[in-house]
Amino acid sequence: MDGKTINLLILNPGSTSTKVGVYQDETPVFVETLRHDAETIGQFKNIWEQYAFRKSAIAGVVRAKGWDFKQFTAIVSRGGIFKPIPSGVYDINQAMLDDAQSGIYGQHISSVGCQIAFDMGRELGIPAFMIDPPCCDELCDEARYTGLPQLKRRSMYHALNQKAIGRRLAKELGLEYPALRAVIAHLGGGISVAAHFLGRVIDVNNALDGDGPYSPERAGSLPAGDLIRMCFSGEYSEAQMLKMVSGKGGLLAHLNTTDGQEIEARIVNGDIKAKAVVEAMAYQISKEIGAMAAVLKGDVQAIALTGGLAHWQRLVKMISGSVNFIAPVHVYPGENEIEALALGALRALRGEEPVLKYT
C-alpha cells in the first residue's frame, strides 16, 4: 500500500464476550474485551439475533476510544463456520455468509462477526477480511479415513492461532512457513494438536467435538462401545450427550472447573484427584504430539505449545518432559488471535499473500 499507515479494525466475538482491536500497521493501538453477561445473551433465541447488539457494542467502544470509522483501511473478523476450505486470507462475501446463516456446517458467534465486518466494510467502502477459520481443511487423504465408510474425520481446529504460531516458529528457526515441519499444540478450552508440513496442516484432531486429548471443556476420544451404550441407555438426550462431549467434558466433568489457577492451587494443597486428572491430560496431549510426529515420519524440526493453558507451568513441564526427545519444545502462551488477524490482513493489503475468494 504505497507506504501509508494501515489502520485495521479487528473483531473477535466469543460466546460471552467481544474482543475489539485497532492496529496501526503492526502496532496495537488498543485491544478491548467487552464482557456480556449470560442473562443478556440468553435473551436471544439464536446467534443471529445478537447482530444488532454486538454491532452496537463494537461501535460504542471504537467511538469511546476516539476513532472515526472513516479512518480504517480494512476490517478483519475472526472466521466463522463454513464449508471446508484451504487456509488463507479471504474476502468476506455473500456466498460465505449464506453458508454461515444456513447452519449446514454448524453455528458459531464468529460468523455473526463476519456479517458485521461485511456490512461495515460495504458502508465504508473498504475491504472486509476473514482469516484462517476453524474449518480450514488441508488434511492428507489418509487422515480422513475411519474404520466406517459412513464416517470421515473432519478438520476442525484452532487454525488461526495454529497458523500464526507456525509462521512465528518458522521465522525463529530461520525458515519460511512453507519449509516448516513441526507439531503444534493449541492448549485452550479445546485442544488441537497438528502436524504442520510445508505450509499445510496435514493432520489434526477434531478439537470441536471429536477425537484427541480431553481438555478443560471437551471429552476428547472416548471408548466407542461404551459411548454408544450411553447414547441408547435412555438416561440422556441427544442434546445432553453432545454437551457432555463438547462443553461439559474434560476437566469440568472431572473437577467441576476449567480454571487452571484454581486447579493448580488444589494440587498444591494436596488434592490427589486434581493432580491425577491433570497428569492424565498431559499424558494424552503428549501421546497426540507423538502421533503427529509419526505423521511427519519423525522429521520434526520443532514442537510448539500455545494457547491459554501454555501459561500453566506444571502442564507445560509435564508435556515438554515427555516429548522433548522428538524435537526442541517452544512455548508461546496465549491465543494471539487479534494479532494473527492483524498480521494476516497486513500481508494481504501489502500484496505478500493473495486474497482468496469463497465460492
Cα(292)–Cα(205) distance, integer angstroms = 10
Element (H, E) at 78: strand 74-78
Residue/partner pairs of 141-146 with CB below 8 Å, 24 or more apart: 143/202, 143/203, 143/204, 143/295
Which burial class, exposed, middle or buried, applies to 226 when counting CB atoms under 10 A from its CB (0-12, 13-18, 19+)? exposed
Residue 153's pLDDT is what? Answer: 95
* 75-99 pLDDT tens trace: 999 999 899 999 999 999 999 999 9
Q: Quick one: pLDDT at residue 2?
A: 64
Query: Tens digits of per-residue pLDDT, 17-54?
Result: 999 999 999 999 999 999 998 889 889 999 999 999 99
Residue 195 has a pLDDT of 98
Task: Give the SS3 label for residue 99.
Answer: helix
Q: Which part of the chain is CATH 3.30.420.40? A: 7-133+338-357, 159-334
pLDDT for the residue numbered 1? 59
CATH of 7-133+338-357, one of 3.30.420.40, 3.30.390.30, 3.30.200.20, 3.40.50.720: 3.30.420.40
What pTM does this model have? 0.93
Copy the grid coordinates of residue 325.
526427545
- Alpha helix (H) residue ranges in 209-331: 224-231, 238-245, 250-255, 260-268, 272-295, 313-323
Q: Distance (Å, rounded) from C-alpha 297 to C-alpha 311?
A: 29
So what's the pLDDT on residue 37?
86
Q: Percent of the chain having pLDDT more than 90?
A: 93
pLDDT at 188: 94
Q: Domain 159-334 maps to which CATH number in 3.30.420.40, 3.40.50.300, 3.40.630.20, 3.40.50.1820?
A: 3.30.420.40
| Residue showing cell 466433568 | 253
Nearest partner of 276 among 299, 305, 255, 298, judged by Cα: 255
SS3 132: coil
Task: Extract the residue ranges of the chain whose pLDDT is less than 70.
Answer: 1-2
Specify the pLDDT at position 208. 84
| pLDDT for the residue 124 | 97
Grid coordinates of 192: 488441537
